[in-house]
Amino acid sequence: MSVLFAALSGCKDGSKDQPKVEYPETKKVDTTDVYFGTEVPDPYRWLENDTAPEVEDWVERQNEVTFSYLEKIPFRDDIKKRLKDIWNYPKYSAPSKKEGMYFYFKNDGLQNQSVLYMTKDLDKEGQVLLDPNKLSEEGTASLSNSKLSDDGKYLAYGISRGGSDWTEMYVMNVNTKEKLSDHLEWVKFSGIAWKDDGFYYSRYDKPEGSKLSAQNEYHKIYYHKVGTPQSEDKLVHWNPDKPKRNYTAGTTEDERYLLMYESAASHGNALYYKDLEKENDEFHKLAEGFEYEHSVVDHMDGKFIVKTNYKAPKYRLVLIDPDNPEPENWKDLIPEQESVLQMATIAGNKLVVEYMVDANSKAYVYNMDGEKLHEIDLPGIGSMGSFRGNKKDNEAFYTFSSYVMPSTIYRYNIEENKSEVFRKPEIDFDSEKYETKQVFYESKDGTEIPMFITHKKGLKPDGNNPVYLYGYGGFNVSLTPGFRITMIPFMENGGVFAVPNLRGGGEYGEKWHEAGTKMQKQNVFDDFISAAEYLIDEDYTKPEKIAISGGSNGGLLVGACMTQRPDLFGVALPAVGVMDMLRYHKFTIGWHWAGDYGTSEDSKEMFEYLYNYSPLHNIKDSVEYPATLVTTADHDDRVVPAHSFKFIATLQEKQAGKDPVLIRIETKAGHGAGKPTDKIIEETADKLSFLFYNMNEKPSFE
């Protein structure tokens, strides 16, 4: 293998006048699928077997080329140092309270994972309950979830290894801090629902066979009693006739009712309950699936309080009588409003609800009869999160952040409707020098799309500013304002950070979501492309100064847009993207996304629609594509790395321009959740270095 880097270090700093990279050879195989009479070659099918020695060798050779390129970027170390400097400040979660004891997570600054503390006095530093940084010497184990029992006696927690979605669960005695004998395996997509001295959880049977086989079928709910082996866990529910259903368990705050959420696709669920005070009670259906979403807030006076979008695309709170659960008998507690209902919880015997107004948070307090009492005074444009309070406790905590404001914790008196700053982070970043504004622009079909734009105050729209355009647009996920520490080095160097709220998300309710799904998925790409065109039209930037970024479904967004409009972008950063839209449903949990995407097997029409935008299948010969840095991980078992592998192999084969098209493959890592701090900093430094270098920009941090 020969790689031409000799002249790179001699180039002018920030110049794109660089030699063309020679990529590792990727063999091609004679593989063709036929969809409704259309032959579709898949010459890199062999890359799907990511544990095969020849694929591991390919990964090693690709990483060698990529890191050789990145290491020669002159300001890469400066960016990494700046990221470490600004990252190094104490970060806290909002506290929760159990039996007079407060629990919270804290990261000293650069710890790979946050540590769980407990204390009776929040004015004093607590004692460590669980330090996930000590879970493995290799640093590849991370805390995936955790939950305290209602009496504060036990902590159940899940551990993910190597970034996998598979979780192992353990139990700790909170008083003694002793790790008990409990060890649960093959847990996936599970909550923790305590009942007495045990909890309900979800898992699959032990996987067997190849990675393409049915390892994510027949999801089951079990009850585990603390101190007993997993072999004695009680099977609570599974459906032998429906292998592709997922089941999640919950319990009401008083642990009287067991709740079961059944899902068949990426959105929508059926809802069931079981009265645990009745011996051998069966599950009873409370709400039908799968077109609508239903979630139980709690119960009162014999009725369930349920958040639902049935006949309410922006959601409402209803009371459902379990004896008469038919939808025509539901009673509105808080009817649907003009804005989207995000969150509802009971604290201090009040209903606390959060709404999204043009993707910004607004919060209100209602009494239990559904009468609005007052609005919670939030600091401005931003996102409220992590509201923590108990039903009978007048004290609660919540966080608030914006694109220029790190997450600040507020202590809230529910009865007096007063918020006060509880913890405000001290960070090496002067937020007063930056501003965020929200604009609305027209997409291709005339739909108005909101977008947040953040940059230094006084920035001149001279058509020459670097832009980082980030999007998602799917699965009812809303991109609300939040602090992005990774964007600070970019904005410090004159960068414009832009986040459009694309269709497919949940910013305006279910209709907004549906407008970006299945046969309407192109709307999402049009929205993103129109955002770039708006920024050019408004003289913020020009095409060669635009970097587009997104992960997972957002990686699909970047892949589709860079193949549809390669002329519009200077840099593309697709992360863990869904790039093969014809075969995505054949890998691990991919079938669960069909509610948003449809599949190539549904119909000829659906196949043709997917084929026409699938990033892998729309890379063309003789086209100059933007400088591209694909990122993925070898242990990603959600969006398997084969998507990125096949995409970059095809892109390297067909790229007609001089701009590099590379792949950065993290080893012993997964889809992103639980990634250690040092890995996040390294990956961010590489992305920003690649971005600046290929925009002909030289960042400075003096």
Alpha-helical regions (H) of 538-641: 553-564, 594-597, 604-613
CB 500 within 8 A of CB 550: no
Torsion of CA 502, 505, 508, 511, to 10 degrees: 100
| Tokens 């368990």 sit on residue | 249
Considering 142, 401, 552, 644, which one is annotated as catalytic? Answer: 552
The CB-based long-range contact list for 372-378 (8 Å cut-off, 24+ gap) reads 373/417, 374/417, 376/352, 376/412, 376/417, 376/419, 377/419
Residue 129 DSSP SS3:
strand
Rounded to whole angstroms, how far apart are CA atoms 253 and 248? 16
DSSP state of 655: B
353: which 2 tokens? Answer: 């609800």
| Angle of CA points 44, 47, 48, to nearest 5° | 110
Rounded to whole angstroms, how far apart are CA atoms 320 and 507? 26
Q: Which amino acid is at 634?
A: D
Rounded to whole angstroms, how far apart are CA atoms 49 and 209? 13
Residue 363 DSSP SS3:
strand
Q: Is 671 a catalytic residue?
A: yes
Rounded to whole angstroms, how far apart are CA atoms 267 and 253? 25
Considering 146, 237, 671, 689, which one is annotated as catalytic? Answer: 671
Torsion of CA 398, 479, 514, 502, to 10 degrees: 160
What angle in degrees, to the nearest 10, is found between the helix axes of 553-564 and 522-537?
60
Rounded to whole angstroms, how far apart are CA atoms 556 and 576? 9
Q: Are strands 571-575 and 546-551 parallel, antiparallel or unpaired?
A: parallel
Backbone dihedral angles phi then psi of residue 38, each to the nearest 5 degrees = -100, 125
**CA nearest to 91, candidates 73, 111, 71:** 111
**CA nearest to 96, candidates 128, 113, 118, 127:** 118
Backbone dihedral angles phi then psi of residue 309, each to the nearest 5 degrees = -110, 20
Sheet with 571-575, strands from edge to edge, namely 434-442, 448-456, 496-500, 467-470, 546-551, 571-575, 627-633, 661-666
Give the catalytic positions in this structure: 552, 671
